Structure 1
Amino acid sequence: MRRFPLLRAAAFAASLLAAPVAAQQQDARADGKTFGESLRDDAQRAAQTQPDAADLPNYDRNAVRGLEALNDDPDRIESNAATAATSHQGYQAMRDSIANRARFDSAEIEDVIARSLAINETPLDYTSGMTVTGSQGACVPLPPGSASAGTYTATCNSGTRIKQSAAQCTVPLIASVTQRQQWHYLCNDTGASFGLPWCSSFDGGSCRITGYRPGPCLQWYGSGSGHFCSEPGDPIAEISCDAPDPRHTPYAVTTDRTVDTASDESQCLGLSDNSDCTLDTEICTDSSPETRIINGVSVTRSCWEWQRSYTCTSREAASDCSDIESQGTCRFLREECLTDETPCETWERIYECPLPAGATETTQYVCDGDVYCIDGSCETIERTANDEFKDAVTALHAMDEARGAFDPDTLTLFRGTRNTCSSKVFGVLNCCKGKGFPLIPGISLLVALGCDREEVLLHERDAQGLCAYVGTYCSDKFLGVCLTKRKAYCCFESKLARILQEQGRRQLPKPWDKPKEEQCEGFTLDEFAQLDLSQMDFSEVYAEFTEAARLPDELETSILIQQKIEDYYARSGQ
């Protein structure tokens, strides 16, 4: 009977709660109606008015026209997209990622998994053990693996080669003497009263005025010492003609000699007219005697012949990459321009090549059925390879080196030293050969060939695996073509420090600076703390650590165990 009062109380409470909700709903309807009425006039006015593009937000009439044009010609969509993609940042990032991703040749992958494939073909050859008696079983040699002694960076050049050549020519001085007769006449412009022709009568011929003399006096004044000419006549002009004038009688006929000298440039025209040839020197090669008789006339000159020396350049396509490409083991990484010219004239091609394997390769074995027995109870020894020991040793050694490689002045670790070496582009002498190339015995030989002692020391340190290759820059160029390049390296005190720098910079990331500016700075304490040594590949130094530890030979150990088992059964008569 108590249930019904409780239900009534609940219903009453619900009605109290529903009352405010209904009121709120009525208020919302009223607000919505008022808001709709306020917009009704605007909506009617907008419906009756011609639309204006200026009233539409973010409306671009040109963009709409462009879309309309694409609608008429859909094929343009693909071409416009291809044009826009070349300058789109996202598209470029995607293309760069595809171009720079790691690529592996199928032959390399097969070399890596060759051992696994060989074991997969005949697994029983490597897993068949021996009986409990120990009378069977042996350590089976594993197929050769794909392990390498490491890699080195090899470079070569391609592009344009500047070929320079020297040329000489002679320029003799040619002297000639010309003899000609001259007819000389007198004339004036005061008339023929003086018995002289008018000077104007010689105009237009091969005549010219060569001098003047005083003319006759027209009026004298005074007498004795005071006698002077008060009205002089026009001066008498001297006329010289190359040919006789039949109208007049010359007062003199003479023979004139003219000396002309000219340099004979005919032998040097091919060089002087060549824009690729530059005049270096011009020296006199014939100056004695200075005075010579030419057609009976003495001619004096300080030099009679010169020799000119030119340097001529020519361009030709060249490449010295055939040696690297013919090896077939080097992997092309990238191509870099050695100069800042556009278009680029000289390129450096960069390859990654494997270091030559050692003279002897240690054979690895799997011993699959070793048995150890005590008091008649025999157990099979489970052999599990442990590859963590070498990583632990390497990491501990890295921490030990970090303690000694700390620079208190700069508060950095594993700081290197900058070293550079030079080589002629397309030249014979190369002072930059290091890792991957045999050391030439004797520093004096390379120095005699033109290399610096510092370059020879860099050659030796790089061959020992102590130097990291930073890059190459052009140190001497001509007409936009690189003639001499320099390679920049960062060298360290140990091979481990070099590996930490190379792989640590990739982790941070902290790429090398430009080859011309890199100073081989070390890691700050914060940067070194961010490095994950477990993700680094120290295989290049594993052999050094294992050799130093002098670990026992596994095959020799298994043979000793086998021998002890056989001795035990021999003693027990079983």
Structure 2
Amino acid sequence: MMKQLLAVLTLLTTLHAWAAPDCLLTGTVCTAPKQTRVIDGVPVSRDCWEYQDQYQCRGQNQASDCQPLRERGCAQIGSACVSRDDAGNCMTHEQSYSCPDQPETFTEKTVCDQGTFCQNGGPGCFDTSYSPDQDFGQAAAMMEATREAGVYGIDPDQVEIFKGYLEQCSVKVLGGSTLKSCCQAAGGGAAFTNHAVLGAGLKVAGEAGRESIVLGSRYMYDALYSQLDSAIVDKGLGAMNSWASGLGDGVFNPQFNAYGFSFDFSLANGFEMAGFDPYSFSLSIAVMLIQEWLSCEPAEQVTAMKRGQNLCVHVGTYCSRKVLGVCLEKKQRHCCFNSKLARIINREGRAQLGLPMNSCGGFNQEQLQALDFSRMDLSEFIADISPKEVPASTLGQRVQQTVNERVQGYYEQ
């Protein structure tokens, strides 16, 4: 009799421990608790006679969230495995696509300008029929590159010049589909150029009328990197202080705040950062983003703004959390730079020198001198500094506004 009882108990234990190879035990519930049963005339009491196991099992259905990219006309350029199961089978793929920024357009123009121009109808005529010099944009880009290298590459022995910062963002996935992504690009980053931050502060200080003062670079985004590199804002300010002595006589010592940054200015020392409030900075970022971004980490929100300004490049993805070999959360790695030009030179330069492309490191002085800048494609930055055509309707509005302001100013005298 006792042997039969042991056999029954052993069978129950074996059934309780069995599980399918693609399933994970998530819980156990007793379905027959605290009972006394008679086995071959012998009453037997147990806390639980029957158990019900609950499992989470891996399905065989595939899911993809790439269709919206295909519908936009994006072309697939690569594929990589993000996570694998214990047998080495790939469970999650990351597909890379190249997407157009805007639809392709064609413009036809008729130019009726005269071939020559003479000032006041006199001597000194010159031919205007030649196409504009295409080297100007390249020369301007190289001047800006030289300036940035001198300002932000201080130590020639360190890998410092045109360096990037490694940043991460998360993507929640389930069954291959994206549930929540904190890696999308977001707007609002244009408000954090050096020019915009200092300009906003001086307007608060009542110095907006000094139109001759050009405040900060329009191409640098030092404010978005202050939490990663505490010295980067001071480097950007130091590049401006050479013209402090040329502001002339008079009182010009403003103190102002912008987006969590506190600044002082004096004719003796130029601009100086007096303090930084990370709470106010994060709040400024949050109010510029749509509601769904508030569920992302503050650092991810800032990264989204950087990506919106094309300051980052994707260098890799890995699975940060998985169950049964199925990835539930992915982390994307991005190299982000404080200017678009720095990003271009870093990527092009690392390719020339054969350096790993999944690293964000910059160049030391010897590596910088080995770069061939004539082989670099700087067209993206050149497009930003090239003059943009003003629509006729907008030009007419500006003319009308100027006339109205002049007439109003005349009668107010």
Alignment TM class, shorter chain as reference: 0.5 to 0.7
Aligned to 1:455: 300
Partner AA of 2:22 in structure 1 = D
Code of the aligned partner of 2:371:
L
- Residue 300 (structure 1) aligns with: 45
- Note the C-alpha offset of 1:547: 5.2
Tell whether the 8 Å contact from 1:414 to 1:523 is kept in structure 2 after alignment: yes
Q: How far apart, in 1, do the equivalents of 2:106 and 2:304 lie?
A: 26
> Any idea what SS the aligned residue of 1:412 has?
coil
For 1:378 and 1:414, how far apart are their aligned partners in 2?
45
Give the distance between the partners of 2:93 and 2:38, measured in 1 at CA: 62
Summarize the Cα distance change of 1:363–1:490 in structure 2 as closer, same or farther, 3 Å threshold: farther
The 1:379–1:537 alpha-carbon spacing in structure 2 relative to 1, beyond 3 Å, is same
Question: How far has the Cα of 1:400 moved from its partner?
Answer: 0.3
> Out of 377, 380, 383, which is 2:129 matched to?
383
Residues 315-338 of structure 1: per-residue CA shift (max 9 Å, x gap): 23333322222222x233222233
- Is 1:421–2:169 an aligned residue pair? yes
Q: Separation in 1 of the partners of 2:354 and 2:78?
A: 20
**2:140 is aligned with what amino acid?**
V
Residue 366 of structure 1: SS of its match in structure 2? coil
What is residue 353 of structure 1 aligned with on the other side? 99
Matched, 1:473 2:291: no
CA distance in 1, matches of 2:42, 2:126: 122
Aligned partner of residue 389 in structure 1, secondary structure: helix
Q: CA deviation at 1:369?
A: 2.1
Residue 484 of structure 1 aligns with which residue? 329
- Unaligned runs of 5+ residues in structure 1 are 1-177, 179-257, 557-574
Counterpart Cα distance in 1 of 2:47 and 2:7: 12
How far, CA to CA, are the matches of 1:537 and 1:400 in structure 2? 19
State yes or no: 1:338 paired with 2:85.
no
Task: After TM superposition, give the deviation of residue 371 of structure 1 in Å.
Answer: 5.1
Contact 2:33/2:48 (<8 A) preserved:
yes
1:282 and 1:309 in contact (8 A); partners too: yes
Q: Give 1:481 deviation, angstroms.
A: 5.1
Distance, in Å, in 1 between the alignment partners of 2:313 and 2:180 is: 22
CA contact (8 A) 2:117 2:128 kept: no
1:541 corresponds in structure 2 to 381
The 2-side partners of 1:286 and 1:396 are apart by 81
Post-superposition offset of 1:510: 2.2
Aligned to 2:353: 508
Q: CA deviation at 1:281?
A: 2.8
Name the structure 2 match of 1:433. Answer: 184
Is 1:442 the counterpart of 2:281 in the alignment? no
Deviation, structure 1 residue 430? 1.8
Kept in 2, the 8 Å contact 1:278–1:311? The answer is: yes
In the alignment, what sits opposite 2:114?
369
> Displacement of 1:532 after TM fit?
2.5
2-structure distance, mates of 1:546, 1:375: 31
Which residue, out of 341, 359, 368, partners 1:528?
368
Deviation at 1:496, TM superposition (A): 1.0
Q: Deviations over 1:168-221 (max 9, x none)?
A: xxxxxxxxxx9xxxxxxxxxxxxxxxxxxxxxxxxxxxxxxxxxxxxxxxxxxx
- The answer on whether the counterparts of 1:434 and 1:459 sit within 8 Å (CA) in structure 2 is yes
Q: 1:336 touches 1:349 (CA, 8 Å); kept in 2?
A: yes
Q: Is the Cα contact below 8 Å between 2:169 and 2:333 reproduced in 1?
A: yes
CA distance in 1, matches of 2:117, 2:387: 29
In 2, distance between residues paired with 1:321 and 1:454? 26
Q: 1:279–1:259: structure 2 CA closer, same or farther, 3 Å change rule?
A: same
Q: Distance in 1 between matches of 2:308 and 2:382?
A: 18
Q: Counterpart of 1:523 in 2: which secondary structure?
A: coil
| TM-score (norm. length: structure 1) | 0.41
2:170 partner letter: S
- Contact 2:116/2:128 (CA < 8 Å) preserved in 1? no
Give the counterpart letter for 2:315 in structure 1.
V
Distance 1:482 1:291, change over 3 A: closer
Q: TM-score normalized by structure 2?
A: 0.55
Letter in 2 for 1:278: L
**SS of residue matched to 1:428:** strand
Q: Distance in 1 between matches of 2:330 and 2:107?
A: 41
C-alpha RMSD of the superposition: 4.5
Partner Cα separation in structure 2 for residue 432 and residue 311 of structure 1? 28
**Are the structure 2 counterparts of residues 365 and 485 from structure 1 closer, same or farther at C-alpha, using a change threshold of 3 Å?**
farther
Compared with structure 1, are the counterparts of its residues 283 and 407 closer, same or farther at alpha carbon in structure 2 (3 Å cutoff)? farther
Matched residue, 1:322 = 67
**Paired AA for residue 413 in structure 1:** I
Structure 2: distance between partners of 1:375 and 1:301? 114
Alpha-carbon distance between aligned partners in 2 of 1:391 and 1:398, rounded to the nearest angstrom: 10
CA distance in 1, matches of 2:159, 2:16: 65
Contact 1:369 1:380 in 2 (8 A): no
Q: 1:356 to 1:264 in 2, by over 3 A?
A: farther
Return the structure number with greater relative CO, CA threshold 8 A, min gap 6. Answer: 2
Which has more radius of gyration?
1
* C-alpha distance in structure 2 between counterparts of 1:271 and 1:323, whole Å: 44
**Alpha-carbon separation, structure 1, partners of 2:62 and 2:138:** 49
Structure number with higher strand proportion: 1
Does the 8 A contact of 1:421 with 1:455 survive in 2?
yes
Contact 1:503 1:536 in 2 (8 A): yes
CA shift, 1:455, in A, is: 1.9
Q: Which residue of 1 aligns with 2:199?
A: none
Identical residues among aligned pairs (%): 34
Q: Does 1:276 align with 2:276?
A: no
Q: What's 1:185 paired with?
A: none
How far has the Cα of 1:466 moved from its partner?
0.9
The count of aligned residue pairs is 284
Question: Which residue type is aligned with residue 361 of structure 2?
Answer: E
Assess if the C-alpha contact under 8 Å between 2:83 and 2:327 holds in 1: yes
Is the Cα contact below 8 Å between 2:137 and 2:382 reproduced in 1? yes
CA separation in 2, counterparts of 1:293 and 1:496?
Answer: 83
Q: Which amino acid aligns with 1:464?
A: Q
